[in-house]
Amino acid sequence: MKQKKFKEKYSKKTGKIPLKNKKLVDYSWIIRITLVTFLISLSFSLLSETIIPNVNIFISVLLIFVFIDLGIIFDMIGVSITVADERTFNSMAAKNVKGAKLAVKLIKNSEKVSSFCNDVIGDICGIISGATAASIAIVLSNILNWNLLIISLIITAVVASLTIGGKAIGKSFAINKSDTIIFKFSSFLAFFYRK
């Protein structure tokens, strides 16, 4: 009811008719994204659980940084897609710039792309980096003969602060350079994308 009044008020003031309502809940998308999340999480977890215990501590730390960086990069893409200017990419698409049409498609589906990048990939990377940090804490505790609780707290705090600090920097960059980020991302995807 409130939305109907808002539409009437809006159209009277501006003389424009508001856009049609989008479907409020896309259940097929929810089911698909849940299944994709399950599969990605399962494969990432399997990767971290089978590799981490069998490699040295330096490779484990490197893997943590890889997961943190992936989380930050996808968080930047997720933020950029919500603030990018579609008109820029429509103009580029009219000039047949590679990746521009895909960028327009991504922006038109920004809620889904943002959900996938921020929630699926970003959160999975956070969970996996936390699990990897726990494995490293156990290994370090055994090597150094230190208290496991203290090492776990320190490593978890370092991983959390790097993740959150990195995402904070990434969000600022994503808001200010959204078109550039989306263009580079869509140009990269264009190599693999088939219509």
List pLDDT tens digits, range 116-162.
898 888 888 888 888 888 888 888 888 888 888 899 899 999 999 99
6-47 pLDDT per residue, tens: 455 544 555 554 455 555 677 888 888 889 888 888 887 787
pTM for the model: 0.77
Looking at residue 23, what is its pLDDT?
Answer: 59
| 64 within some domain | yes
Q: Which residue has the higher pLDDT, 139 or 78?
A: 78
**Residue 183 sits in which domain range?**
22-190
Please report the pLDDT score of residue 6 as a whole number.
Answer: 47
In contact, 125 and 67? CB cutoff 8 Å: yes
Among 15-19, 55-59, 85-89, 137-141, the minimum mean pLDDT is found in 15-19
Sorting pLDDT into bands at 50, 70 and 90, what band is 54? confident
| Chain mean pLDDT for the chain | 83
Please check whether residue 82 lies inside any domain of the structure.
yes
For helices 27-51 and 123-144, the axis angle rounded to 10 degrees is 20
Q: What pLDDT does 10 receive?
A: 47
Q: Specify if 4 maps to a domain.
A: no
Other CB atoms within 10 A of residue 124 CB: 21
157 falls within a domain: yes
- Domain-located, residue 161: yes
CA separation for the pair 49, 122 (Å, rounded): 19
Contact 169, 74 (CB under 8 A): no
| Comparison of pLDDT for 75 and 135, the residue scoring more | 75
Of all residues in the chain, the percent with pLDDT exceeding 70 is 85
Residue 147 lies in a domain: yes
Backbone angles phi, psi at 125, to 5 degrees: -60, -40
Tally of structural domains, the chain: 1
Q: Please indicate, yes or no, if residue 92 is contained in any of the structural domains.
A: yes
The answer as to whether 51 is a domain residue is yes
Q: Which tokens hold the place of 167?
A: 């995402």
Q: Which residues have a Cβ under 8 Å from the Cβ of 104 and sit 6 or more positions away?
A: 86, 89, 90, 93
Q: Provide the pLDDT confidence category of residue 194 given band limits of 50, 70 and 90.
A: low
Cβ neighbour number for residue 111 with a 10 Å cutoff: 13
11-20, 69-78, 102-111, 168-177: least confident range: 11-20
